[in-house]
Structure 1
Amino acid sequence: MPRSPVAAPRRETVLHQGQPLDYTLVFRARRTLGFAVRPDGSVHVSAPAGVPATWVAQQVLKRADWIRQHLAAFARRPPPAPARSYHAGAAHHYLGRPLALRLTEGPRSAVAAAGHELVITYPAPHAPARTEALLLAWYARQAPALFAEALARVWPAFAGLELRQPTLFVRHMRTRWGSCTPTTARIRLTPDLVRATPGCLDYVLLHECCHLKVPDHSPAFYALQTRLLPDWELWKQRLNALPR
């Protein structure tokens, strides 16, 4: 049986609280209305074929508050970070400082921070995938000592809380800076943190240490974190601004 033809999308606008609300309307072979708000700020409405566009506009107005809420949520999201480059001259952070990659040839693989550069040496030919692997491995090697120094700075703030000092572990995590298991006092931190300033690292570690006292993210947890680090929101913002 042949499918019914689908009308071309059309741009529509309704006034909601004196402000225009634009949406793309398309009529399809369906029984119900469908609403979609996309990350790019566009609103799409799918309507059953044959219903009047004026009726659809009325339904859009009924859902206007819901649409505005989603548009505002997408607007608050930070823009996606550009893909990292591993070619000579590309900027990569270490301890909060942007350093330019300098690729050199040598018989052995090595990575070193020198002045305003990250110098990566290995036998030719150079390839982005090889450069990336060496740099990430170098970050991971720096992490244990830097994390231990951060714990020495942070842990005195927990004096008097009768907590067991945590054991730190380095673990690659794609979507988290750290995690904590209160029952075993184990804290895992991603080596990606060595790219951040020491203040940002201290914030993450203090956050995880607070979970030793309050396992969840309840008001009691944030009260403790604020008491120990009143400007933690500033450090969180700086951390999240770091390209990942």
Structure 2
Amino acid sequence: MPRSFSAAPRRETLLYKNQTLNYTLVFRSRRTIGFAVRPDGSVHVSAPAGISAEWVAQQVLKRADWILKHQATFASRPVPAPSRRFEAGSTQYYQGQPYRLRFDTASRATVSLAGDELVLATPTAPTPAQTEALLHAWYARQAKAHFADSLERVWPRFAEFNLTRPTLFVRAMRTRWGSCTPRSARIRLSPELVRARPECLDYVLLHECCHLLVGDHSKAFYDLQTRLMPDWEQWKAELNALPK
């Protein structure tokens, strides 16, 4: 088997339409040139061994618009929310406010607020997985009252449509904040919503109520949502920025 060739990567810079275009070039045992734009915006070029860097630069300039388009796409994507942690001293959220997690000892598991702390008391020290489960259960117990309050704030906006008032359910969901069954006017909301500010909860509930009128996510749906809550994008962004 012949040995493969791969030179050390080298950094290259070009000027294209008054923009600096940086890329990493590596020569390999291959027949064609390859381009890749990674999610962090970095550009990587793999070129056949034996050709000149000047020739590669010409090919990069030919693909410059394609490269810049992909960099812009990645740059426009929202920054992923940080991951949640469940050790002592970690930050937990309730109604949009940050609380420091403190562990305590008690004969049975309880969760309570004390000043700027969220206190989890258990008979023995919980694991991170047990802590997560206990906090999720606590959020679920708080959710029903918060969801009812949110409906009181949101539902008057739908008065003109003479709709059947929806029934709300607390439902754990992995990939969404809420769901709606228009035929039965049932709306399910994630208990994790109580971690966010009430305005974020109102946005999700209003979104699901809009599905009572428009079942899909068409332009008509978003036109309705924007008319009833013009600043919904602000609350969506804040909600999605919560640690997952």
Alignment correspondent of 1:49:
49
**How do 1:107-146 and structure 2 match up within 5 A?**
107-146=107-146
Higher relative contact order, structure no. (Cα contacts within 8 Å, ≥ 6 residues apart): 2
Query: 1:171 and 1:37, CA in 2 relative to 1: closer, same or farther beyond 3 A?
Result: farther
Superposed displacement of residue 46, structure 1: 1.6
Distance 1:167 1:27 in 2: 63
Percentage identity across aligned positions? Answer: 68
Distance 2:177 2:210 in 1: 15
Query: 1:62 and 1:175, CA in 2 relative to 1: closer, same or farther beyond 3 A?
Result: farther
Query: 1:32 and 1:214, CA in 2 relative to 1: closer, same or farther beyond 3 A?
Result: farther
Length-normalised TM-score, structure 2: 0.90
Q: Tell whether 2:223 aligns with 1:223.
A: yes
Query: 1:83 and 1:24, CA in 2 relative to 1: closer, same or farther beyond 3 A?
Result: same
**Runs of at least 5 residues in structure 1 that lack an aligned partner in the other structure:** none
- Could you tell which deviates more after superposition, 203-212 or 126-135? 126-135
Alignment correspondent of 2:88:
88
Distance 1:152 1:185 in 2: 16
Superposed displacement of residue 105, structure 1: 0.2
Superposed displacement of residue 25, structure 1: 1.2
The number of residue pairs the alignment matches comes to: 244
C-alpha distance after superposition, 1:60-109 (max 9, x if no partner): 11221222222223333444443322222221110111111121101101
Distance 2:234 2:110 in 1: 35
Q: For 2:163, give the aligned amino acid.
A: L
Q: For 2:57, give the aligned amino acid.
A: A
**Runs of at least 5 residues in structure 2 that lack an aligned partner in the other structure:** none
Secondary structure in 2 aligned to 1:86?
A: coil
Secondary structure in 2 aligned to 1:173?
A: coil
Q: For 1:119, give the aligned amino acid.
A: V
Distance 2:146 2:38 in 1: 41
Length-normalised TM-score, structure 1: 0.90
Over aligned residues, Cα RMSD in angstroms? 2.0
- C-alpha contact 2:179 2:188 (8 A) present in aligned 1: yes
Q: Tell whether 2:237 aligns with 1:237.
A: yes
